Chains A and B, each alone.
Chain A
């Protein structure tokens, strides 16, 4: 490895590990240090464009990567979203005291209640929640645009500045570039020897949610040529898996899977391909374009129709030469749990081997997890 490659590895590692507990607040605090505002984002359906257009850094909040979340559980319930409970613990521990605000959507009532608690605890000054329709039609997209307009108005009040259409357009350009660059990386994952492990890919995907988009774009643009010739440090490039899940920002689970001798070559993750899929149309009214982009992506399990979601995963499985799909549904992710029988059966009917594994945000029984995945991998031989 020459010096340039070494430097690229360092850059890559820095991005991949951006959400590690010791790193995750770095860029946000740097932004604050330079006088900027940072607003926490609870959901991937919050349009970052509007915040960026206002000069605010959107910051996707993560949960505590520790099993200690008793204080949070006392306020919520043991049978509620593991991700939300760990996130609340982070909040209670003061990890997000630097945030100027929080924005969420009604993606799931569990998240709405997390937002409610966040506001009740009085942790941030600027608190907004927008309604997210659960299906796509001309009417619901129009309504969502109305919600975005309301959010824009509130942000303008908070910042004391008007957000122009041009600023929205420019923010869309920046975020579209992030998406295009990441989609280029996704294309590289089709290679028999992909440039990134699945864990590295997840780390990279999450990095963009923790940094100002301009900075992320510059870093990734520099890295892309290196990635085009890199070979991921994998023990095995077969079997190739697709991992499906939501709220997964901790690399451990994918690392564990790959340590068993396989590669997670593709994903169906809210922070992965679904986050980057689809560009904002720059040739129309910016807010409408943003509303359409966010609503028209392949949705999470909470959205309908489910058969479109299955079809998309089947298509990805074919494109990425996938041997099997692992569904990692965090316990008490209610929408995913209700969709799961249909989802797994739909994939099986399309000839895709699948394994549904109930998991948690922070894996507490890693040996059991490894045993189950190992058993599944053996069926793929």
Chain B
């Protein structure tokens, strides 16, 4: 069974399990998402069977779809893997290092094992982090039929027209390249505009939910905060995805109005950064001790929820952006991709906005972008926020040499110390 078949079967089982035995403490709207997952996986399987060109690309699914590609972003698919060990075995057997960021490197294993078909096209990009950039280059050059390298200048932290046009022009080059190399692929700008608008509508709902996260108690669980937003344009029925986000927003609104929080008696509010062990719900344990996980800080968080523009925003550049520029914008100013000051500024921004009492910096092995900013983070948070930070090493997919129990104990102690510090005022 290949990866998509396994994911389809998993999605079907999950929906069945929830329908048969719904958990009233969990968000009911998420069942809509899981239904959409089933549709997506069905669609992907049909696309693969029909030989539809597959494009492994960064977070520009609307552009991919507007070109006629079936979009995947292999790192995001890797997040869903539950038996990562066999992909690590493949990675090691082929001489690749197994200690680069798990979610980046096992993408190579997923393709080499045949569980994910070789992409028709891969776009590698360096806007986020080196592990993703390097594995993208490996997949693109060695395991894809066609490859395009997208270079993003992440030094400047401002909304820079030069950088925007640099990326936009490269996307234009990519369009020409793809059209010339892949039969049947053609750029349809009207479709891009349509899909981008649906992505925008969905993200508006997520921003409304973000505003609700500012309330006490935080109305959604850490597990839901940890869930990365997914664009409607990734799905075969984007309109239904927009409806899901609207339902999600409404439900979270109701929970907020009734002061229902995942942590019950919320004592402290925690911002979690980088990643977390996907194979264990550490958030639930923290919530049982009175800690709400109010934010998951990752590369795109400032675009999704924060002080950077999303699709349709005219403030960032002081003007309306053209359709391709909207996609380019999304590749610029990733929180991970710039200097350490950007990562720390962004993390502290959310801490202030969400009134965080502590930060958990989950230091994924191989995460160069965030882990190596540790000292800067430590010093600046201490000086400017005065809240405790837990720096804890871990892995998000590789279970064999990672002791979850130790992590849980560390988190227990951390929550206790955050509560003590908060009570001391």
Chain B residues contacting A147 (CB-CB under 8 Å) are: 153, 155
- CB pair B135–A338 under 8 Å, yes or no, is yes
Q: Report A87-135 residues with CB < 8 Å from chain B CB.
A: 106, 108-110, 112-117, 120, 129-131, 133-135
- CB pair A113–B153 under 8 Å, yes or no, is no
Is B72 an interface residue when CB atoms closer than 8 A count as contact? Answer: no
Return the contact of A143 from the options B100, B166, B173, B375 (Cβ within 8 A): B166
Q: In this complex, which of A140, A146, A341 has the most chain B Cβ atoms within 10 angstroms of its Cβ? A: A341
A117-B340, A304-B141 known; A344 vs B95 contact (CB < 8 Å): yes
A304-B149, A306-B141 known; A116 vs B376 contact (CB < 8 Å): yes
Distance (Å) between the CB of A21 and the closest chain B CB? 25
Encode contact with B along A289-333: 1 for CB under 8 Å, 0 otherwise: 000000000000010111100000000000000000000000000
A112-B339, A116-B339, A131-B153 known; A79 vs B366 contact (CB < 8 Å): yes
CA of A140 to CA of B376, assembled, Å: 31
Is A370 an interface residue when CB atoms closer than 8 A count as contact? Answer: no
Return the contact of B173 from the options A115, A139, A307, A341 (Cβ within 8 A): A139
Chain A residues contacting B126 (CB-CB under 8 Å) are: 134
Chain A residues contacting B142 (CB-CB under 8 Å) are: 342
Chain B, Cβ-Cβ closest to A142: B166
Return the contact of A109 from the options B129, B155, B169 (Cβ within 8 A): B129
Chain A residues contacting B96 (CB-CB under 8 Å) are: 337-338, 341
Distance (Å) between the CB of A80 and the closest chain B CB? 6
Chain B residues contacting A306 (CB-CB under 8 Å) are: 137, 141
A112-B339, A342-B142 known; A335 vs B134 contact (CB < 8 Å): yes
Q: In this complex, which of A113, A133, A146 has the most chain B Cβ atoms within 10 angstroms of its Cβ? A: A113
- CB pair B375–A334 under 8 Å, yes or no, is no
Q: Report B121-153 residues with CB < 8 Å from chain A CB.
A: 124, 126, 129-131, 133-135, 137-138, 141-142, 149, 151, 153
CA of A337 to CA of B91, assembled, Å: 12
Distance (Å) between the CB of B361 and the closest chain A CB? 12
CA of A1 to CA of B129, assembled, Å: 56
CA of A171 to CA of B400, assembled, Å: 55
Q: Report B356-404 residues with CB < 8 Å from chain A CB.
A: 363, 365-366, 368-369, 371-376, 379
CA of A74 to CA of B135, assembled, Å: 28
Chain A residues contacting B124 (CB-CB under 8 Å) are: 304
* Count of A-B contacts judged by CB separation below 8 Å: 116
Return the contact of A334 from the options B131, B151, B162, B170 (Cβ within 8 A): B131
Q: Report B193-245 residues with CB < 8 Å from chain A CB.
A: none
Chain A residues contacting B151 (CB-CB under 8 Å) are: 133-135, 140, 143
Distance (Å) between the CB of A113 and the closest chain B CB? 4
Is B188 an interface residue when CB atoms closer than 8 A count as contact? Answer: no
- CB pair B374–A77 under 8 Å, yes or no, is yes
Distance (Å) between the CB of A122 and the closest chain B CB? 11
Distance (Å) between the CB of B95 and the closest chain A CB? 4
CA of A140 to CA of B379, assembled, Å: 36
Distance (Å) between the CB of B373 and the closest chain A CB? 6
CA of A137 to CA of B372, assembled, Å: 31
Chain B residues contacting A307 (CB-CB under 8 Å) are: 141
- CB pair A110–B138 under 8 Å, yes or no, is no
Is B292 an interface residue when CB atoms closer than 8 A count as contact? Answer: no
Chain A residues contacting B352 (CB-CB under 8 Å) are: none
Distance (Å) between the CB of A209 and the closest chain B CB? 24
Is A340 an interface residue when CB atoms closer than 8 A count as contact? Answer: yes
Chain B, Cβ-Cβ closest to A75: B375
- Interface size on A (CB < 8 Å)? 43
- CB pair B134–A342 under 8 Å, yes or no, is no
Is A14 an interface residue when CB atoms closer than 8 A count as contact? Answer: no
Distance (Å) between the CB of B187 and the closest chain A CB? 19
Distance (Å) between the CB of A136 and the closest chain B CB? 10
Distance (Å) between the CB of B174 and the closest chain A CB? 12
Chain B residues contacting A304 (CB-CB under 8 Å) are: 124, 137, 141, 149
Chain B residues contacting A274 (CB-CB under 8 Å) are: none
CA of A306 to CA of B147, assembled, Å: 12
Chain B, Cβ-Cβ closest to A128: B155
Chain A residues contacting B131 (CB-CB under 8 Å) are: 334
Q: Report B147-198 residues with CB < 8 Å from chain A CB.
A: 149, 151, 153-155, 162, 166, 169-170, 173
Chain A residues contacting B99 (CB-CB under 8 Å) are: 79
- CB pair A113–B368 under 8 Å, yes or no, is yes
Chain A residues contacting B135 (CB-CB under 8 Å) are: 338
A77-B363, A110-B368, A143-B153 known; A305 vs B170 contact (CB < 8 Å): no
CA of A304 to CA of B150, assembled, Å: 11
Encode contact with B along A146-157: 1 for CB under 8 Å, 0 otherwise: 110000000000
- CB pair A76–B153 under 8 Å, yes or no, is no
Is B94 an interface residue when CB atoms closer than 8 A count as contact? Answer: yes
Return the contact of B97 from the options A108, A133, A146, A338 (Cβ within 8 A): A338
Distance (Å) between the CB of B55 and the closest chain A CB? 18
Return the contact of A139 from the options B166, B368, B373 (Cβ within 8 A): B166
- CB pair A305–B375 under 8 Å, yes or no, is no
- CB pair A117–B173 under 8 Å, yes or no, is no
CA of A117 to CA of B376, assembled, Å: 7
Q: Report B314-366 residues with CB < 8 Å from chain A CB.
A: 339-341, 363, 365-366
- CB pair A334–B372 under 8 Å, yes or no, is no
- CB pair A76–B374 under 8 Å, yes or no, is yes
Chain B, Cβ-Cβ closest to A112: B339
A77-B374, A79-B365, A130-B155 known; A341 vs B95 contact (CB < 8 Å): yes
- CB pair B154–A334 under 8 Å, yes or no, is no
Distance (Å) between the CB of A348 and the closest chain B CB? 12
Return the contact of A340 from the options B95, B154, B365 (Cβ within 8 A): B95
Chain B residues contacting A140 (CB-CB under 8 Å) are: 151
- CB pair B100–A337 under 8 Å, yes or no, is yes
Distance (Å) between the CB of B287 and the closest chain A CB? 29
CA of A112 to CA of B371, assembled, Å: 12
Chain B residues contacting A356 (CB-CB under 8 Å) are: 95
CA of A177 to CA of B126, assembled, Å: 35
Distance (Å) between the CB of B393 and the closest chain A CB? 8
Chain A residues contacting B129 (CB-CB under 8 Å) are: 109
- CB pair A334–B95 under 8 Å, yes or no, is no
CA of A279 to CA of B358, assembled, Å: 53
Question: Which residues of B does A touch, CB under 8 Å?
Answer: 94-97, 99-100, 124, 126, 129-131, 133-135, 137-138, 141-142, 149, 151, 153-155, 162, 166, 169-170, 173, 339-341, 363, 365-366, 368-369, 371-376, 379
Question: Which residues of A does B touch, CB under 8 Å?
Answer: 75-77, 79-80, 106, 108-110, 112-117, 120, 129-131, 133-135, 137, 139-140, 143, 146-147, 302, 304-307, 334-335, 337-342, 344, 356
17 cross-chain CB contacts under 8 A: A76-B374, A77-B372, A79-B365, A113-B368, A113-B373, A114-B372, A120-B379, A131-B154, A134-B137, A135-B151, A137-B173, A146-B162, A302-B134, A304-B141, A306-B141, A307-B141, A337-B96
